[in-house]
Structure 1
């Protein structure tokens, strides 16, 4: 009896420092500070647990937001916080590490511990996550002889070095559950199953090596591999998806059924609609997973956050990573998703003892209706009554009692008698979102224009032929200039029609300048990242300068050998209508210039903003001026509401506040077929979409912690032209 009481005391909170208690309780036969598992669930300090988790990525919010986000997750009924570890953010150059600000991983984990929650640390270190280059540092691509995510010595050495560093950091701070910390799970690799098959024997060898390497780090907690049906023992293979009830049994009967990514919505990309997932369907999916024996569910995302800077991958992933999550991008509760899931967690937790004490008994209640019943001599009884019909309600009889089941729903009966929760019946009202004006509008802008004519003069790289953009920029900038010259004889300009230029690029956007003037632009999209431009060439007799500004919009973040994907202008570049034959300029001598002059001058920062002469005055008539920098100052709006910049009047570019990069903006209008979010059956990414015919993203999150009371610097770089006079700071409210 005393031993049982002691066990409950230790397992009631992961804040208990198990190592200290162990010295006091050696005479009890109690397993402390351990995480193991059996086929039913994870076993933490001797107790089986049903766990609800939520993904909150520390770099996608600010440290000042973390504690509030974590507390809201706890209040929503979560037990665990889940995050990837972002290698390229932590090691931007080889051997130089960054664990400060938004990348202060230890601080984030300790805040999870402070809140009394567990942590799932998904080290990867490949993460995908719609993050630039899948979270791998770009410098890794240029290590001699490297091939990503396969049985390749240079990659394995780099991966092991980083993984070991992260694990050792956690050990040094005593953050694994085996040390009394909050980390109960770690993940190695990420969604490798498909790539493993593509790599064949080398993929299997790498998979086996990664598992052995991870286990050999002796963290004292289990490791998982998501979407990896052949995960080597003792690694637990887990499921990701909109539904994971099909994911049983596991690849070993001794392993629990874990869902590492229950998708709460979907990410958005520039030029596409914004997806939403009805909470009724999400709750249904989770309840169905649990009734089939699932014991760990992680919501991806619980708070999606913001792709600050140039961290968005894809390409074309928006700066907003809201993900239609229970906590929105700004840290506000999204209803009814938040409350409905909270009630779901409560109902399942009240059934936990029965669920973990017995295997479910399946009972057919009709054509589309069924029951899963958990009962044992010691664990009580719990039942899940399901109606799988998409449109029709049903009345069923279970244990001599009648129950009404709405379409596509599951009722949870923690005592096998009374309904505590039904996945389709939502009690909370839908959040009413308002973007309200503040006093920050009609800013007093100053401008600075890039001098296109001087780009090749400053270039230090010349090459015969076209080069891959990433090999030149190493992702230090989104921008790469390709410049060449063409001599035209007067006779070649007559009688052959209007000269045109055709440019083919591997993306992602392209601005074409001829003799200093913008001839036009072309853009790829999420379906076809390649760019094809054809436009009139304003040529003159004599020397003509052709300048191509290639723009990256985030690097590829997944796929086999994604490090080999090319980007930028790779040709052909062909001049038509000059003389009697077309001219292929692809093999001409091209000069290369990385980035914009304003980037080199660091115009986005308070320190660098004075390095050029800005022009002050009316913006009238400047709406279509390309490659223009804008700066203004403003005082912080009063209040505590989250803030955003309204960029609807602009075209495409980047924006900074006090030197901090908000991210890329692009007012590309969403194309496609939008469906209102009225719940009617199963969710798919192509259903339930909004913002068709409008900019995919209009508002860009400004963390209040980035602001000073007065004299806040806003800098905008506009690529094609826009009306900066209409930019304003808004506040976001939800009621």
Structure 2
């Protein structure tokens, strides 16, 4: 027995002969969305976190390194590791105006290294392997130097073999090389710990907590500064369109609106890969048919309208890496076009039931289009019955094309919120290529 199985698809055959469902032959409407920034912009204020040190009064201290989750108990994504390093004035790297090398090994997921209160560098792990190694030259001075490392956990694992045993945080070893003594092991010396950020403790993301610190604005607004809180207020936009924040100008952190957590943002994480024209030939692989290479893994963050008040909504953001808050905007999402792809002979469970029960198959193949509420179909951008190519927003005709493909849709759909058209050759002016399984592709504008 022979089966027609399109590439990269799965078929269901209840009787082991007849396909009633195939993942590559699903006829449904698809939509293209447009994000429209809401005018007016946001007026931002900022508050920058101070870098803690090992001698602060609100720290815990012990010899050696602790695992992060056992310390934070998931009360925060953040745990500070802090220690002091004494450097003699006769160190060769000081005389030669060179820098020593700090190497830190961590179980993940991200790490920011500060030397004497100044950011020295940052590194993060990957999805497959969250472990990371920071290795960078650091500027030390004669006397006591304060090393403060902020370890960041990006959520907790919830699946995988023995995931409850997975670690996070700085577990070592930690070494400082380039000294007169060679390499100094800092792993087992005395370390101080502090859970979370000061802004978290003060609940800066809430209306009451946000008034507990002094914020700066205008020319003093922090730009591209790590560990900075930002806040702004805005009024709820009119209408019912879904809303989102465009965070493309930021790096990594968290967002709150009226005290409710929008979630973690990480636009600074760029999607790497080899994007190109999709080719379904050969075996499936996750590296095939990739899109949006060299773009943020996520740019838009949904804002539930149920969280909003008519006026004076508080937007608070904590930024780890540093970004440009003035590039953030609130946007409306609207459906600009709807498309339908209908394949002749597509499998149907209902048709199979009718055939097995001896009933005649009277099911009629139809193309359905529907615009969102308050919008109507204003134009038919494309329609082709035959062997059209492409996807929604990028269709094109082939040599097999029915010349009256547009007519039925222009007649039945223009000015309507929704419409349907029977998919039979007579509707489109006849069969453009007999003895060939055809499809219909249609694209309509909503306004």
TM-score by length of 1: 0.43
Equivalent residue number for residue 711 of structure 1? 312
In structure 2, relative to structure 1, the CA distance for the partners of 1:429 and 1:626 (3 Å cut) is same
2:80 to 473, 481, 493: 481
**Cα drift, residue 700 of structure 1:** 0.7
**Cα drift, residue 534 of structure 1:** 1.1
**Residues 445-472 of structure 1 deviation map (CA, whole Å, 9 limit, x = unaligned):** 1111111146751433101001000110
CA contact (8 A) 1:440 1:637 kept: no
Equivalent residue number for residue 517 of structure 1? 118
Equivalent residue number for residue 297 of structure 2? 696
**Residues 467-506 of structure 1 deviation map (CA, whole Å, 9 limit, x = unaligned):** 0001100111000000000111110133494212111101
**Cα drift, residue 430 of structure 1:** 4.0
Return the structure number with greater helix share.
1
**Of the two, which has the highest radius of gyration?**
2
Q: Does 1:508 align with 2:106?
A: no
Paired with 1:422 and 1:504, the residues of 2 have a C-alpha distance of: 48
Q: Does 1:606 align with 2:189?
A: no
Paired with 1:430 and 1:577, the residues of 2 have a C-alpha distance of: 60
**Residues 519-560 of structure 1 deviation map (CA, whole Å, 9 limit, x = unaligned):** 000010112211111112111111100001000012222223
CA contact (8 A) 2:99 2:140 kept: no
Paired with 1:281 and 1:705, the residues of 2 have a C-alpha distance of: 43
Paired with 1:658 and 1:595, the residues of 2 have a C-alpha distance of: 21
Equivalent residue number for residue 376 of structure 2? none
Paired with 2:118 and 2:167, the residues of 1 have a C-alpha distance of: 28
CA RMSD in angstroms comes to 2.3
1:447 to 38, 46, 52: 46
CA contact (8 A) 1:440 1:729 kept: no
2:272 to 667, 671, 676: 671
Equivalent residue number for residue 587 of structure 1? 188
In structure 2, relative to structure 1, the CA distance for the partners of 1:454 and 1:582 (3 Å cut) is closer
Equivalent residue number for residue 562 of structure 1? 163
Q: Residue 638 of structure 1: SS of its match in structure 2?
A: coil
Equivalent residue number for residue 193 of structure 1? none
Paired with 2:54 and 2:35, the residues of 1 have a C-alpha distance of: 40
CA contact (8 A) 1:466 1:569 kept: yes
Paired with 1:536 and 1:588, the residues of 2 have a C-alpha distance of: 21
Q: Residue 224 of structure 2: SS of its match in structure 1?
A: coil
Equivalent residue number for residue 69 of structure 2? 470
Return the structure number with greater strand share.
2
**Residues 597-626 of structure 1 deviation map (CA, whole Å, 9 limit, x = unaligned):** 000000001121111111122366x32211
Paired with 1:507 and 1:698, the residues of 2 have a C-alpha distance of: 23
Q: Does 1:725 align with 2:308?
A: no
1:650 to 243, 250, 273: 250
Equivalent residue number for residue 231 of structure 2? 631
Q: Does 1:597 align with 2:198?
A: yes
CA contact (8 A) 1:634 1:711 kept: yes
CA contact (8 A) 1:446 1:616 kept: yes
**Cα drift, residue 587 of structure 1:** 0.7
Paired with 2:23 and 2:108, the residues of 1 have a C-alpha distance of: 44
Q: Residue 598 of structure 1: SS of its match in structure 2?
A: helix
Q: Residue 549 of structure 1: SS of its match in structure 2?
A: strand
Q: Residue 253 of structure 2: SS of its match in structure 1?
A: strand
Q: Residue 172 of structure 2: SS of its match in structure 1?
A: coil
Equivalent residue number for residue 92 of structure 1? none
Query: How many residue pairs align between the two structures?
Result: 328
Equivalent residue number for residue 372 of structure 2? none
In structure 2, relative to structure 1, the CA distance for the partners of 1:431 and 1:681 (3 Å cut) is farther
Paired with 2:320 and 2:169, the residues of 1 have a C-alpha distance of: 17
Paired with 1:482 and 1:427, the residues of 2 have a C-alpha distance of: 55
1:526 to 124, 127, 137: 127
Paired with 1:548 and 1:584, the residues of 2 have a C-alpha distance of: 16
Equivalent residue number for residue 56 of structure 2? 457
CA contact (8 A) 2:273 2:287 kept: no
Equivalent residue number for residue 233 of structure 1? none
In structure 2, relative to structure 1, the CA distance for the partners of 1:688 and 1:629 (3 Å cut) is same
TM-score by length of 2: 0.69
CA contact (8 A) 1:459 1:591 kept: no
Paired with 2:211 and 2:120, the residues of 1 have a C-alpha distance of: 31
Paired with 1:683 and 1:701, the residues of 2 have a C-alpha distance of: 32
Equivalent residue number for residue 141 of structure 2? 540
Paired with 1:455 and 1:690, the residues of 2 have a C-alpha distance of: 46
Structure 2, unmatched stretches of 5+, are 1-5, 338-447
Paired with 1:669 and 1:560, the residues of 2 have a C-alpha distance of: 28
CA contact (8 A) 1:506 1:567 kept: yes
Paired with 2:177 and 2:188, the residues of 1 have a C-alpha distance of: 16
Paired with 1:526 and 1:607, the residues of 2 have a C-alpha distance of: 37
Structure 1, unmatched stretches of 5+, are 1-279, 294-359, 363-371, 373-383, 385-409, 413-420
Paired with 1:440 and 1:729, the residues of 2 have a C-alpha distance of: 10
